[in-house]
Structure formats: C-alpha cells, structure tokens
C-alpha cells in the first residue's frame, strides 16, 4: 500500500498557520482503516506487510519563517520604537545578512537553516509525534490470520505495521536537497523528528529528468524508485512547470523569484508593521495570514479588506490606510531592486521581472479601491478561479510516454485532481493526479467578492495505491476533505 501526500507547509508560526496536529491524528486514523481494508482480498484476510508514504515536497516550510530576516542568535541589534524593543532587520551589505537566495556556502546559511528547521520541529512537535509513532508501529496493528485466511481476534499478540516515510523536496523545502556535511546534519534532525526512512544524504527532487540535456544531475533514491516500479507510478513535486518558483536553467539547488517575493514582501510586511509605534497588534496578527489566502490572486483583496475592517472598527488610530499601502508598495519596490531579482532580468526580453516591475509601478499609483476594482475585472475574465492544472504537462512526462508509469502524480498547485490521460488494451488506464494539500485556508466567498469575505477552513487530501493482492480489484483511491 502506497500513500502520496504533499504541500503540508509546516512552518514555525512566525507567518501563516500550519495545519494543526488534529489533521495528523485524522490521517493516522484513516491510514489505519485503509490498511485494514487492504488486508482483505476477496474475503481472505492477510495483514499487509508494507505501507509506504511518499512526502512529495513542501512538507517542512523554512521559507515561511521571519527568522531569515534577523541576525543569528546573540548578534541581534535592537531598535527602540514606542515602548518596545525590536530586532533590527538585516539589509544587503550587513555582515549578518543571509537569505534563502544567499550562496549556500555562506558561513551563515546552514546555521540559519538549522535554526529555522529546529523552530519548525518544535512548533509542530505534536503533529510530528504522530508521524514518529506511525513509523515505529504504534498506531497500526493487526490480528494474526489463521490457516484458512480468517482474522484470529483471540490472539493476544498483535502484529504492528511500521509506516515508512520517504521525503522528496519541492520549492519551499529545496534547501534539504543541498549537498554537504552541514546539510546532512540538518536532514538527520528531520529524519529523527519525523520518523523518515531517508538517509541523511540530499532528499531527492528529480528522479527522472524531463529534458535529458538539463545541466543538473538526476537524483538517486532506490527505495522510492522501487515503489515507482511496484505501483507503476511516477511523481514529482511539480514546481518544474512554474517559472516563478523553479529555474529551469540552474536546477533545484537555486533560489527563485518566488523565494525572494515571499520573504521580502509577504513575510516582511507584518514585521514592518510591528515597528509602527502604538499600532494595534491585531493588525499585525491578521496580516500574518497572507500566505493562507486563496485564490492567490485574492491576496490584495485580503489586505485591503483587513485594512478597511480595522479602520471601520476604529483600530487604525496611529496609521492611515494610505500609510499601510505605502509600506506594502515600498517593500515591493525594494524587492524589485534586490541584486538577486535584477540578476533574473533578461535583457531585450519581456520576462517575469519586467511584468512584476510594471505591476508594482501601477500599484503604487492607484488607491486600494482602484486595485480592488482591477481584481474584480480579472475575476470576470475567468482568470480568478485558482491555479492552472498541470495535467497537460503529465502528457510529456517520460514515464507516461514510455508506459513505465500508469499514474503520474504532481503536487504544488494545492488543487486536488484526477484526470484521465490515456487508455490502451495492453496496459490499461493512464491517469494524472494532483495530490492537493494539507493547509489552513482563508478562501474568498464567491457570492459578492466586493464584500471581501473570507471563509476559514482546513484542507486535507491524499492518494492511495494498492498492489494486486490488496483490497480486491481496487487500484487507487483519492481522498480530499475539509473541516473547520
């Protein structure tokens, strides 16, 4: 039995909220139930002996941590604002400046990643304890079978089933793909805290290159590749198809524009608000949820909606709506001027940097209301509904083309999908899946977006595959749920 999940985005609590431990208990309960169903094959009971879970990227999320903005512990500089002291944010050129796009060989890079990783482990300890117990066989156990294939519930001794977790990386946890002893030690801490089956060498990203001429090396992960063959699946995170979050020329060991925008605009915005004297802390706490907003294009509506609500409740006594927008605009402008961002600008070509630069200039010139109206117009053009499907890309996947996989699985978009790709008499169905996400969301209510109402809920989805001697004729199941 093979289960695939992705996009948990477990953070350290300094920005958006992670999925709570209750989701992990729910998953463990369903996993135990599915394992028992899989143990009955045409009326005969035989406990399954293997249960593997592939964690297909963006599981631990070091990018959504404000700790990157500050110096190492013990080197902080404090600034006094109002009646509070705040750690001064590092800027390019400072001796303690390090960001996800810094050179990984920088002496501060691995220590900062270790600091953030440990913070995430501590913040999500209860959830990760569920994984450790699953890995040690504490959550799933079977009655033994008798000689004729019946369940023998009279036996006191139960048969434990240890779940094997295999970690692959995506665009928010690509740091665990970096080579070197310092990163091996960080990975070992993740292995111990999550109950992973991985060795401490780089967690895999690309097990089969789409373009054989790509300059980077494909990864080797024998245990995961065995599962691919056994279940006729192939999976990758999917960020390969998102140029904002993957550099096709340089591969996965490189930061992207998405990293820089997330850190210097989305993560930093609430931190800058903290530094406004006497500002109501509720404003900061509300705007920390920026990365939980869906659809992504609704983020400006979330920001302006929160600002207007706080204004109507007379909580913006020390700052105006224009001031809050000005801070956002300034962070956006500073992002565009980063040396790292400018290095991505291709001369004599209209690229994503040019488009973002134009959008930021327009945003600075218009009011919040005008920006809202622009979003509404985009909605009416049907660009508003969510992220695009990657199903078309699956048609070009080498494992699809040569029939070595019947099931192609991506993540990244957070949108669970099951889409038929092909059928042939020899091999049967070929199907594309998106594994969805485990995430806390604030989703825009569609009745009247101008009201800027967002509904909170938690999403949880996964995919299960079975071998021929598990669960009668069933080959796969998808499960997608939400709770609040």
What is the greatest pairwise CA distance in the chain? 78
Q: How confident is the model over 333-349, as a mean pLDDT? A: 87
Which stretches of 52-107 are DSSP H helices? none
**pLDDT band for position 288 (50/70/90)?**
confident
pLDDT at 297: 57
- Give CA–CA dist 97/102, Å, rounded: 9
pLDDT at 120: 98
pLDDT at 474: 87
- Tell me the whole-structure pTM to 2 decimals: 0.92
Which tens digits make up the pLDDT trace of 216-247? 999 999 999 999 999 999 999 999 999 889 99
What percent of the chain stands above pLDDT 70?
90
pLDDT at 305: 74
Residue 57 has what DSSP assignment? S
Long-range CB contacts for residues 322-327, cutoff 8 Å, separation at least 24: 323/276, 324/273, 324/283, 325/367, 325/368, 327/269, 327/272, 327/273
**pLDDT band for position 137 (50/70/90)?**
very high
What percent of the chain stands above pLDDT 90?
58
Q: Which of 207-216, 237-246, 392-401, 421-430 is predicted least confidently?
A: 421-430
DSSP secondary structure of 175-191: GGG--SHHHHHHHHHHH
The mean pLDDT of the chain is: 88
Q: How confident is the model over 311-330, as a mean pLDDT? A: 77
- Give CA–CA dist 138/477, Å, rounded: 24
Asked if residue 332 lies in contact with residue 419, where contact means CB atoms within 8 angstroms, the answer is no
pLDDT at 376: 54
Which tens digits make up the pLDDT trace of 100-121? 999 999 999 999 999 999 999 9
Asked if residue 132 lies in contact with residue 193, where contact means CB atoms within 8 angstroms, the answer is yes
Res. 387: pLDDT tops 60:
no
- Give CA–CA dist 31/131, Å, rounded: 11
pLDDT at 383: 39
More confident: 288 or 263: 263
Asked if residue 2 lies in contact with residue 464, where contact means CB atoms within 8 angstroms, the answer is yes
Q: How confident is the model over 73-84, as a mean pLDDT? A: 85
- Give CA–CA dist 325/330, Å, rounded: 9
Nearest to 262 by CA among 87, 101, 471: 101
**pLDDT band for position 322 (50/70/90)?**
confident
What is the CB neighbour count within 10 angstroms for residue 152? 12
**pLDDT band for position 384 (50/70/90)?**
very low
Collapsing DSSP to helix, strand or coil, 195 comes out as coil
Nearest to 141 by CA among 246, 55, 243, 31: 31
Q: Where are the domains of the chain?
A: 2-63+111-248+388-483, 78-106+252-380
pLDDT at 366: 58
Nearest to 340 by CA among 420, 258, 279: 258
Phi, psi of 288 (to 5 degrees): -65, -20
Q: Which of 61-75, 148-162, 267-281, 313-327 is predicted least confidently?
A: 313-327
């Amino acid at each position: 039995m093979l289960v695939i999940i992705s996009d948990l985005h477990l953070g350290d609590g300094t920005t958006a909220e992670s999925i709570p431990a209750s989701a992990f208990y729910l998953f463990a309960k369903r996993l135990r139930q599915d394992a028992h169903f899989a143990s009955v094959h045409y009326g005969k009971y035989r406990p399954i002996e293997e249960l593997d879970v592939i964690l297909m990227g963006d599981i631990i999320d070091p990018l959504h941590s404000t700790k990157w903005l500050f110096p190492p512990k013990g080197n902080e500089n404090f600034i006094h604002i109002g009646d509070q002291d705040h750690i001064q944010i590092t800027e390019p050129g400072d001796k303690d400046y390090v960001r996800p796009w810094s050179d990984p060989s920088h002496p501060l890079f691995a220590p900062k990643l270790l600091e953030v990783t440990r913070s995430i482990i501590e913040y999500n300890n209860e959830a990760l304890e569920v994984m450790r117990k699953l890995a040690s066989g504490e959550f799933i156990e079977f009655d033994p079978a008798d000689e004729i294939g019946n369940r023998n519930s009279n036996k006191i001794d139960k048969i434990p089933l240890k779940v094997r977790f295999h970690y692959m990386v995506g665009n928010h946890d690509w740091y665990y793909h970096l080579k070197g002893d310092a990163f091996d030690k960080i990975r070992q801490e993740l292995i111990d805290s999550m109950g992973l089956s991985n060795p401490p060498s780089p967690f895999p990203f690309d097990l089969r290159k789409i373009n054989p001429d790509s300059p980077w090396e494909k990864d080797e992960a024998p245990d995961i590749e065995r599962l691919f063959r056994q279940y006729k699946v192939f999976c990758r995170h999917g960020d390969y198809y998102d140029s904002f979050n993957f550099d096709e020329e340089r591969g996965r060991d490189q930061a992207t524009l998405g990293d820089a925008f997330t850190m210097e605009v989305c993560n930093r915005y609430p931190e800058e608000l903290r530094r406004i004297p006497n500002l109501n802390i509720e404003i900061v706490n509300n705007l920390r949820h920026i990365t939980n907003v869906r659809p992504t294009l609704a983020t400006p509506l979330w920001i302006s909606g929160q600002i207007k609500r706080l204004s109507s409740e007379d909580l913006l006594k020390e700052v105006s709506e224009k001031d809050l927008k000005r801070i956002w605009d300034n962070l956006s402008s500073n992002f565009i001027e980063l040396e790292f961002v400018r290095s991505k600008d291709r001369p004599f070509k209209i690229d994503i940097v040019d488009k973002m630069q134009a959008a930021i200039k327009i945003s600075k010139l218009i009011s919040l209301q005008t920006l809202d109206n622009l979003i509404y117009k985009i909605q009416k053009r049907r660009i508003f509904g969510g992220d695009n499907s990657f199903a078309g890309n699956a048609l070009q996947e080498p494992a699809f083309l040569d029939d070595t996989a019947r099931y192609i699985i991506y993540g990244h978009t957070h949108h669970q999908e099951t889409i038929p790709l092909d059928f042939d008499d020899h091999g049967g169905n070929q199907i594309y899946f998106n594994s969805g996400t485990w995430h806390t969301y604030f989703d825009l209510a569609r009745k009247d977006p101008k009201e800027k109402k967002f509904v909170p809920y938690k999403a949880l989805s996964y995919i299960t595959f079975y071998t021929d001697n598990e669960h009668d004729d069933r080959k796969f199941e998808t499960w997608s749920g939400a709770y609040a």
